[in-house]
Chain A
């Protein structure tokens, strides 16, 4: 039970499927261990909590050497959508929830969800653009105050 005293603050900075899931899994896992957890969404990571975009997160098929196929092939129209569906089916079989459901689950565990003020300003967004589970839009200084005394993980 030693982990119960610890705290983790996880930054999600990317808007791709593979850029978002690791941070969500780490936040959910931290709460499951009884740790305090906060998620901070910045730059394209904001798509994970954007009410109109979070259902349409795609796998990056261009510039992603981990997929092991040619960049030109990844750029063909529809390939990203196809690969995303393929990955989503595999994840569903493993009981990994889709991003909208996963974010809601993490909020239900008591983890905090925060949007980055600078990115919100940059993209011209407002609080109403985000899902209702988002606690607030905070500055980097407020993030550090919240993270104080715990670990910070940047993804």
Chain B
């Protein structure tokens, strides 16, 4: 597993950039990860999704898929794709420091 430095902390990540250990994540890392994912600014709506991803991950052991996000996060599927054009569940998981969700739907 490669190691990368985010906000001056050495973090272990997968080849596609997802955190191996979500406990290594801190909030000040999210804007840095967002910039790398071509999201220039994190709004309150982005943060709502990011926090929801982490809560779900720690409660269930896996992050939600886009459909589940649309049903349960309080942000609609349309808005999710506006916030995270490169894939909401995938990008939000990346910014939230959790593994990539594995659901098919």
Residues of A within 8 A of B (CB): 1, 4, 25, 28-29, 31-34, 94-97, 105, 108-110
Contacts and interface: CB of A to CB of B under 8 A. Distances in A.
Interface string B43-79: 0000000000000000000000111101000001110
The 4 closest A-B pairs by CB, nearest first: A34-B86, A34-B87, A108-B77, A4-B86
A105 B77 CA distance: 7
Contacts, number: 49
B29 to A, nearest CB: 17
A96 B76 CA distance: 18
A31 B86 contact: no
Interface residues of B, number: 22
A95 B105 CA distance: 8
A108 B78 contact: yes
28 contacts: A1-B16, A25-B104, A25-B105, A28-B66, A28-B67, A31-B81, A32-B65, A32-B87, A32-B89, A32-B90, A34-B85, A34-B86, A94-B105, A95-B67, A95-B68, A95-B103, A95-B105, A97-B105, A105-B67, A105-B77, A108-B70, A108-B77, A108-B78, A108-B81, A109-B66, A109-B77, A109-B81, A110-B81
